[in-house]
Amino acid sequence: MSSINDEILNKYIDGELDFAEVEMVKNELEKDNMMVAKLQVLRMVDSSLRQMEVEHTSGNFTDNVMKAISAAKKAVKPKINYFFVSIISIFSTGVIAVLVAAIQSYQKDNSPSAITPYADKVKQMFSQNLTAIQSIFSNPAVILVISVLSLILLITAYFTFESHKNFTKKLNSISH
C-alpha cells in the first residue's frame, strides 16, 4: 500500500517537498496509474483555485454586519408566554377572591355593600357543595396526588426560571 496521500500530492504540486520526498513521489507515480490520475485531478483543482478571483471586503465590513445584527435584535419583539400569563391570572384571581372573602368576613357593621350580593352567592355555592368538596379532599390518595403535582409544578417553575436566567445571561454576553 502506498504511503502517499492527498496531502503529500498537494505539497508536491505546490513544490513544498524536499528532494528525497520528490523522488519518492516520482517513483510511486511510475508504479501506480491510479496515483497519476489522482495527481492530474489535484492539479486541475489547484489551477482552478488559482484562477479564481478573490473578492475583498470593505474595511468596515465587520462594523456593518454588527450594526445589522443589532438592528435585527432590536426589531425582534419578545413573544408572550401564555402559559405563565394564565397561571399568574388564575393565581391573582384566587388571591383577590380570598381578599374579598376576608374583607367581607371582617366587616364590622352590617351595612350592605356592593360586594354583599356576590359574596352571598359564593357562600351559598360553597355551602351547597361543601360536603362534596370535603369528601374529595379527605381522601388520602387525592391529597397525595395533589401534593406530588404541586411539588412537580414548583420544581418545574424553578428550573424554568433558572434556565431563562442562564439563557438571558448568555444572550447578553454574546450581544455585548
pLDDT tens digits, one per residue of 111-134? 566 667 777 787 787 777 777 777
Q: Which domain holds residue 26?
A: 6-51
Instruction: Supply the pLDDT for residue 104.
Output: 66
What is the tally of structural domains in the chain? 1
Is residue 36 domain-resident?
yes
Kindly state whether residue 129 falls inside one of the protein's structural domains: no
- The number of residues making up the chain comes to 176
Rounded Cα distance between 57 and 117, Å, is 75
**Residue 130 within a domain:** no
Residue 64 within any structural domain of the chain? no
In a domain, 40, yes or no: yes
Local structure of 151: helix, strand or coil: helix
Alpha carbons within 13 angstroms on the beta-carbon side of residue 86 total 3
Residue 39 has a CB neighbour count (10 Å cut-off) of 20
The whole-angstrom separation of Cα 52 and Cα 74 is 38
Residue 163 inside a domain? The answer is no
Instruction: Classify residue 166: in a domain, yes or no.
Output: no
- DSSP category for residue 17: S
Cβ contacts of 152 within 8 Å, gap of 6 or more: none
pLDDT for the residue 71: 79
Q: Which residue is listed with cell 513544490?
A: 15
Give residue-wise pLDDT tens across range 130-155: 777 777 777 888 888 888 888 898 88
Residue 71 within a domain: no
Low-confidence stretches of the chain (pLDDT beneath 70): 1-2, 75-76, 78, 102-115, 175-176
Q: What is the per-residue burial (b if ≥16 Cβ within 10 Å, else e) of 79-100? A: eeeeeeeeeeeeeeeeeeeeee
